[in-house]
Structure 1
């Protein structure tokens, strides 16, 4: 009988049986299903299976979190179900066939804009700081007017701040070619041709007469002319041109002999795209973008703005769950390009704050539940810094009533924000620091809806729990349901037979050279919200992973991007190199050990190519987590964040 045979049978029945499974595979921590009918999956039953630690649906895949024993679980599942797994790419392809056109569009937008977020967020922070320098007054004059130093700083910060948004089409065109798997440097060149200094800057078009454009800003080809107009900060023209370039490149690669493809494919793909971008795509895309931003801006400035703001405030959190929230980034960018500011982004910021406030209320309601506090406290902090997935998936959606309370609080705050006419100069980091992106004249006013977004969800969460509204599993007097129960240690049998004294400590050393950060900062919510256990994440400075203690290799994923170890005292640790690196299918990873090997502290486990991983648009931050925290209590060591060397102790695990 397989180790997980009973649980695998239970899971098969809970997801609707063999006939409901269109495809299945697994990564380092999760079973990934494409189901014919997601509604047939009994989520309550799945949560009660001992081996499962949670579930969620993403990009058409129904994912069940197992942990670093997932390879064993997968084998047992295949045995009891008779279903053979397929490649991850096949599962992704099958998942897309289950998505409607809107879901596919949203997925595409997400893949285009996600790699650009770091630059956009940094640009928002910088512009927010410039808002303070230029907008906050002391004694009737601003900071830049009072200080030559801060005036110089403000002027210098234009370089990185405005440049990010001025040259946004370069990033968009690059990201499209990256997503389409075509030549990325051609995307960069295309983007540059949309924002070249030889063109009339998009920000100056409205103040330039048609006669002047016809005289000084046109290409004259004799029998026709084209306007020499740039597309700074324009989203739709850059995306449309990027897709045209990608499709032309793919077309010509199929029809041009390989011997001359390096010369003629780029030529025939790039030049027609540049012409089309300035003659057709750009002008049409600009009008479409202006139309969308006009509709949104009108809705948020009309006599019914309060209603528009309230509805959007309520619905934004559900949009995050579906992934549709990625569309708002393009709309915000277009609003800023057309009107110099956005009245939509403040509503998004308030939704982030509201989700964090509801989690904070849950913490106070359940403060005796120490295990849940390990999730709720970092989730609150994360939401108030602009990342709501840990709060929503880790706490609010599990109980439902705090999620509803946050939606209502966000709606009320959104109504107040729109009534007050609050706008943002840029897209910020979200959460409490989001005030830095607000117009200088609106910053003080924005504190009112921010306060509403904290107080209303907090009070409503308390009330809903007391009254039993939207609440089936957390009734007063019934005791808090522990939805974070995890499976017991499933590792080396000899270790399990050994009695370890309570209070025994295991020093978990850094397996990498680099920068250690709190686990809540992880980009993947499954790790960030602690569903797999507690620990830290490390941003590596080189590509060598070593053993964090003396122990045994309990699991080595076939693609070598993740490895589990059990210490001689029974502490179980999972190290997952990068996020979504499973899709590399082992490229860039070399393992120096195998499952079952005994290892010593500092022994080389895996080499990985950081540059290659990053070139594929993936991040290399590596979670180092204690997965059997029901047996060992993890505590971080030293100040975090900080630079560490392999061998420096980052976590101490104490036997309970």
Structure 2
């Protein structure tokens, strides 16, 4: 197998040479390249390179899938070969005229939430571990009961599990300012203002233990603990206002005047206009999602489990991060995660079947790592490198995901967090749900595997 340096060199040649590359960046799994002339790309040669699990155009970017870890090393080698990298925000600016407005909006939404997801993942893991160690069955092993757990220990676990959601508006406003060209620290302070302890706590208001402050006798003002949409829009508008004033305030006064004006305008807008309106919209979205997830007879799982990976292909699946956050914030658990997990596991099962059945070394070398990637929660290598390329494996993966999602809904599985699935996702079910979680995933994998193995792939088609 070629080294990472050799793969980088071969890739640069296959996309038309250094002179054809306008800019390059990477995400968790893909090398994202903007080229000057698409016609110079030898796409067949790119897909034949070692470690490449697929390649495609999306929103003006030529995206080459390497998988987690590998993509970082290939990117480093391209930089060593003299290719100037771009940040994601710069790449977004260069490709913003590509794709329709909806695609661009969703891509931007994803750019805001991707940096926040790791802390939400960590919080979900802490929730899972707390659920595990506070179970009566687990405590009984050590001769303890729930009454033996000290209040101070429970307080410590609450610090771990609640902080990210209490200050979520600060994280969202910080990231939104960063994406839209504002000063991130101003966004952070604005977000902290939205959860100031001087305001009535949102959870206390919801439970009836506190009342909103009414201005002009009709504008309710509360804190926005756990809210996403008000902080996102406040960050977007605030960043635009900051850029407007930075161009007009004299440089000698900019350090003092611009942050003062931005924070003053935005806290008034946020508390008296954006917040109350968007809080209502947020509740509508949550209720709509909850209604879908509560559809009887497992229909919600069947529908979401089947269509989820189709949505992944379009690249707009990042919007569901917002929905998962809302579910965790309002319900205290996440019924969406087990359904999505089944759809991801099924695509891994389909790719695994291709690897087992194929006698082609190249296909085995592609299918096995791709299926492992899916079982770790990332399906792009399996979808674009194996399943979608052959058609039937992808369809059978959708069927497996639908059946698995149906079971997840029937069993009423509830994750304690978000953003991790399949094998890592077991950490979100470290309670009495774990056996059922494993069963749902095994069924999804088995159906996709068997259908693909017997009806979905032949080597002669690949040749």
Q: Is TM (by shorter chain) over 0.5? A: yes
Q: Which has the higher contact order (CA 8 A, sep 6+)?
A: 2
Following superposition of structure 1 onto structure 2, how do residues 116-265 of structure 1 map, counting pairs within 5 Å? 116-135=116-135, 137=137, 145=145, 148=148, 155-208=155-208, 213=211, 217-218=212-213, 227-265=220-258
Structure 1 residues 184-211: Cα deviation after superposition (integer angstroms, max 9, x where no partner): 11111011111222333222222216xx
Please list, as runs of the form range in 1=range in 2, the aligned pairs for 1:590-605 lying within 5 A after superposition: none
CA 1:444–1:370 in structure 2 vs 1: closer, same or farther (change >3 Å)? Answer: same
Please say if residues 169 and 235 of structure 1, whose CA atoms lie closer than 8 Å, have aligned partners that are also in contact: yes
Could you tell me how far 1:479 is from its partner in structure 2? Answer: 8.3
Q: Does 1:270 align with 2:263?
A: yes
The answer to whether the 8 Å contact 1:136/1:440 transfers is no
CA contact (8 A) 2:136 2:145 kept: no
Which residue, out of 22, 25, 31, partners 1:25? Answer: 22
Report how far residue 31 of structure 1 moved.
5.6
Q: Secondary structure at the match of 2:335?
A: coil
Of the candidates 282, 289, 295, which is equivalent to residue 302 of structure 1?
Answer: 295
Cα distance between partner residues in 2 of 1:278 and 1:399: 52
User: What is aligned with 2:342?
Assistant: 350
Q: Secondary structure at the match of 1:231?
A: coil
Say if 1:174 and 1:242, in contact at 8 Å, map to a contact too: yes
Sort the Cα spacing of 1:87 and 1:138 in 2 relative to 1 into closer, same or farther, 3 A: closer
How far 1:332 moved relative to its partner? 1.0
For structure 1, list consecutive stretches of 5 or more residues without a partner in the other structure: 1-6, 13-22, 76-85, 466-470, 482-656
Distance 1:363 1:50 in 2: 17
| Stretches of structure 2 lacking an aligned partner (at least 5 in a row) | 1-10, 26-30, 67-73
Mark the CA change 1:268 to 1:11 in structure 2 (over 3 Å): closer, same or farther: closer
Q: Deviations for 1:214-271, whole angstroms, at most 9, x for unmatched residues?
A: xxx5276xx6686452211111011011112111111111222222111111111111
**Post-superposition shift, 1:462?**
0.5
Query: Which of 413, 418, 428 matches 1:437?
Result: 428
* 1:319 and 2:314 are equivalent in the alignment: no
Which of 367, 376, 380 is the matching residue for 2:371? 380
Separation of aligned partners in 2, 1:386 and 1:126: 19
* CA–CA distance in structure 1, aligned partners of residues 46 and 187 of structure 2: 48
Cα RMSD (Å) of the superposition?
A: 3.9
**Cα distance change, pair 179–144 in 1 and its aligned pair in 2 (3 A):** farther
Separation in 2, partners of 1:283, 1:88 = 32
1:214-613 matches, within 5 Å, as 217-218=212-213, 227-303=220-296, 306-366=298-358, 368-438=359-429, 440=431, 442-465=433-456, 474-475=458-459, 478=460, 481=463
Q: Confirm or deny that 1:111 pairs with 2:111.
A: yes
Show the 5 A alignment for 1:620-639: none
Q: 1:160 to 1:375 in 2, by over 3 A?
A: farther
Cα distance 1:251–1:132, how it changes in 2: closer, same or farther (>3 A)? same
SS, match of residue 206 in structure 1: helix
Is the partner of 1:324 in helix, strand or coil? coil
Question: Using the alignment, how far apart are the partners of 1:10 and 1:244 within structure 2?
Answer: 42
Question: Per-residue displacement from partner, 1:607-654 (whole Å, max 9, x unpaired)?
Answer: xxxxxxxxxxxxxxxxxxxxxxxxxxxxxxxxxxxxxxxxxxxxxxxx
1:268-302 deviations in Å (ceiling 9; x for gaps): 11112112111111111111111111111111213
Separation (CA, whole Å) in 2 of partners of 1:182 and 1:143: 55
* In structure 2, distance between residues paired with 1:144 and 1:376: 47
Cα shift at 1:306: 2.8
Per-residue deviation at 1:142? 11
Taking structure 1 as reference, are residues 412 and 239 closer, same or farther at Cα in structure 2, changes over 3 Å only?
A: same
Structure 1 residues 8 and 141, CA gap change in structure 2 (3 angstroms): closer
In structure 1, how many angstroms separate the alpha carbons of the residues matched to 2:397 and 2:228? 31
Question: What TM-score do you get using the length of structure 2 for normalisation?
Answer: 0.80
Give the Å deviation of 1:412.
Answer: 1.0
1:97 is paired with a residue of what secondary structure? coil
* TM-score, structure 1 as length reference: 0.58
Q: Is the 8 A contact 2:229 2:278 kept in 1?
A: yes
Rounded to whole Å, the distance in 2 between the matches of 1:50 and 1:107 is 25
Shift of 1:330: 0.2
CA contact (8 A) 2:106 2:318 kept: yes
Higher Cα Rg, which structure? 1
**Using the alignment, how far apart are the partners of 2:435 and 2:224 within structure 1?**
33
SS in 1 for 2:55: strand
Number of residues of Structure 1 aligned to a counterpart in Structure 2: 431
1:410 CA drift (Å): 0.5
- My pick for the range that moved more, 142-151 or 185-194, is 142-151
